[in-house]
Structure 1
Amino acid sequence: MIEIIGVRFRNAGKIYFFDPAGEKIEKGEHVIVETARGVEYGMVVLGNKFVEEEKVIQPLKPVIRKATPEDDKKEEENKEKEKKAFEICLEKIQKHGLEMKLIDTEYTFDNNKVLFYFTADGRIDFRELVKDLAAVFRTRIELRQIGVRDETKALGGYSICGRPLCCSTYLSDFVPVSIKMAKEQNLSLNPTKISGVCGRLMCCLKNEEETYEYLNSKLPEIGDRVTTIDGLKGEVQSVFVLRQKVKVIVEINDEKEIREYHVDDLKFKKKFRKEHVKLDDELKALEELERQEGKSKFDD
């Protein structure tokens, strides 16, 4: 077992593990740690905890110290610097006539680097822009192109459910989301109904995927032949996944009638339909694209 703490550097960002170095550190406290980007100021979201060694990538870097009042003040100053840096970068982008949209600016705690996050439709030659920015800030400059999901995560907002966006409140990582999930949940496949603010499929489609897969595995397909508890044979007209109910067209005295049954009151043989294979093939490229978009560049 190894003792760790979990630290987050951005709202809803990834959680990184560090060695508490023998200190008792509570959730909500701030710490100074060394990362691949330099010395950083982060918030502890997971206090001292022992976990199995194979569950974390080692060696863990030790916490340099708990944040002092001076560290807190410096972090506030950095936030003010980021606002000014954002405005300066906007001016430089306009000066060079670059087709790019500046999204966010970030100073490392030790001021050794300034990162500028932007979106653009294609590749941007920003070498001259970097030179201008380096002359102004006299430190290392990094421009990082991000996707639409990262943009939405940074800007925040509200979804069609009326709640703050999942990605900007609690999602640490983007997960692959596919049309297949919407189909599994019997949702409208109208893009405007299942797309988020970013224009991509809503992340929340993933939330109930396992539940719907399990419930659907117990149900017949529309068009399947079934035998009812009262001995009637019929064809499935529709299914209600959450209620586990099935509407069946049965024939009684040469007349067709629609009756509703609980799935436990039906006998049927589940089929693996060819169209399922076709659907998977059609969505393969889309899912790969979603996986690529799901790799956040904010926390690299």
Structure 2
Amino acid sequence: MGCSSCSTGKDGQPRGCKNNGTCGTDGCNKLTVFDWLSNMSLPNGEKPFDCVEVRFKNSRKEFFRNTENLTLSIGDIVATQASSGHDVGMVTLTGELVKVQMKRKKVDYKDKDLPKIHRKATQNDIDKWQKCRDREEEIKKRAREIAIILKLQMKISDVEFQGDGSKATFYYTAEDRVDFRQLIKDMAKAFGIRIEMRQIGYRQEAQRLGGIGSCGRELCCSTWLTDFRSVSTSAARYQQLSLNPQKLAGQCGKLKCCLNYELDMYLEALKDFPSQDTKLFTEKGLAFCQKTDIFKGMLWFSYKEDPSNWHTLTKEQVQEILEKNKKKEKVASLEEYTVDNFVKEEKVFENVVGQDSLTRFDKPKRPRNRNRKRNKAKSNSGKNNNNNSGNNANPQKKRGRRNNNQKRQQKNG
């Protein structure tokens, strides 16, 4: 989605808003909520909801009460109440849908202690806010250098300034507890601002920084995913994925969130599916399950004495054999069932979409070998004709040479 501040420049190159996803028109925001109630009018006598959702750097969103009854719309930059001073953010949602979002995030909209919106941001507020945003990368680099000097086992991933520039929040990740008291003192002396350290998880770090996943798209956590559910390796086992940590892990180093997307469908399909620990008792011997295919409804079994030879059975056939085994009846062999399953699949290729060949406009290539043979034959015939013509052109000269040679031999003799 584009916006007016993300249009192309004079040379045709993309200009970019340089706001890290916080455009002025809210056109390319990440984690943006679509206000589907914006076109609906309120009933008579009903007052509009007095709370709005304000978004700050990256994915941080908070709810504020509009006590001044300001006419706010999505994309307005406002000055909000903070613990000390004021902060500057952008309105991302207004109206009745804010109440729904507050209920969803378990925020009491009747709470009188909700922070308030002071005013719409003036040009002076916006200029100061932009200057603070421009300093963030430089300060983050300097803070990392101080942490390395102090030999602290932590990684400072992001810095967020308050709107008035009086305070900076440093987000960091660490595996163990870190004593950063000396770090705060050194940074306060170096930067001359109040420092707040906030530890986040590796998934929250990836959400704040963003990036491109192995699927080629932007990370789900930085675009639309708002809650992080626990992901376990059992989700990969149910989906029959190889337990390769390099393929299953995302940019945060944890298991990918997308492993949970199709897990419910797999669990529903596995309800009436025999487990992989199923054993079949036959007169030929005991058979173990080697492989399952949920989509085709097929299972592969092999005898204990011959594990390399697999036999294909359908889900219904396995359930039929299990019912007989419960009645203490044995099947003769698995080969009786595998013969029925062996059906040759005829491959039928149809041009359903109506796509044409990519080489339909190319000129037909002429056979080059025939042309080469013809050229060789012509050149050889030309040489032979020249030689023959040269030999038969002056027979009298040849005779004169022979006579002269004979006379020379007679004189010498």
State TM-score, norm by structure 1: 0.68
Matched, 1:210 2:257: no
Secondary structure in 1 matching 2:196? strand
Q: Is the 8 A contact 1:223 1:236 kept in 2?
A: yes
Q: Deviations over 1:3-36 (max 9, x none)?
A: 243222232x244333344444333333332255
Query: Which residue is equivalent to 1:5?
Result: 52
1:52-201 equivalences under 5 Å are 56-58=107-109, 59=111, 60-201=114-255
Could you say what secondary structure the match of 1:154 adopts? helix
Q: CA deviation at 1:244?
A: 6.1
Is the 1:26–1:48 Cα contact (8 Å) retained in structure 2? no
Mapped partners of 2:290, 2:164: distance in 1 = 65
Corresponding residue of 2:77: 30
Displacement of 1:84: 2.9
**2:59 corresponds to 1:16:** no
Q: 1:79 to 1:204 in 2, by over 3 A?
A: same
SS in 2 for 1:64: strand
> CA contact under 8 A between 2:88 and 2:164: conserved in structure 1?
no
Counterpart of 1:18 in structure 2: which amino acid?
F
8 Å contact from structure 1 (residues 30, 66) kept in 2 = yes
CA distance in 2, matches of 1:89, 1:8: 25
User: In structure 1, what residue type is equivalent to 2:52?
Assistant: I
Structure 1 residues 122 and 28, CA gap change in structure 2 (3 angstroms) = same
Amino acid at match of 2:63: F
Letter in 2 for 1:177: V
Note if contact 1:102-1:119 (Cα within 8 Å) is conserved in structure 2: yes
Gaps of 5+ in 1: 227-233, 251-255, 270-300
Q: 1:94: how far off?
A: 4.1
Does the C-alpha gap of structure 1 residues 245 and 63 become closer, same or farther in structure 2, counting only changes over 3 Å? farther
Query: Residues 37 and 104 of structure 1: is their aligned pair in 2 closer, same or farther, counting only changes over 3 Å?
Result: farther
Whole-Å Cα distance in 1 between the matches of residues 144 and 301 of structure 2? 64
Counterparts of 1:251-270 in structure 2 under 5 Å? 258-260=312-314
User: What do residues 61-101 of structure 1 show as CA deviations (whole Å, max 9, x unaligned)?
Assistant: 33323334333322211111222322332343344344433
Count matched residues.
255
Does residue 297 of structure 2 align to residue 245 of structure 1?
Answer: yes
Q: What residue identity is the alignment partner of 1:187? A: L
CA contact (8 A) 1:14 1:172 kept: no
Q: How big is the shift at 1:194?
A: 0.9
RMSD: 3.7
Q: Is the 8 A contact 2:128 2:165 kept in 1?
A: no
Which stretch shows the higher mean deviation, 166-175 or 75-84? 166-175
Shift in Å, 1:150 = 3.0
SS in structure 2 at match of 1:187: coil
* Higher RCO, 1 vs 2 (CA within 8 Å, ≥6 residues apart): 1
Preserved contact between residue 78 and residue 107 of structure 1 (Cα < 8 Å): yes
CA contact (8 A) 2:157 2:173 kept: yes
Per the alignment, in what secondary structure is the counterpart of residue 198 of structure 2? Answer: strand
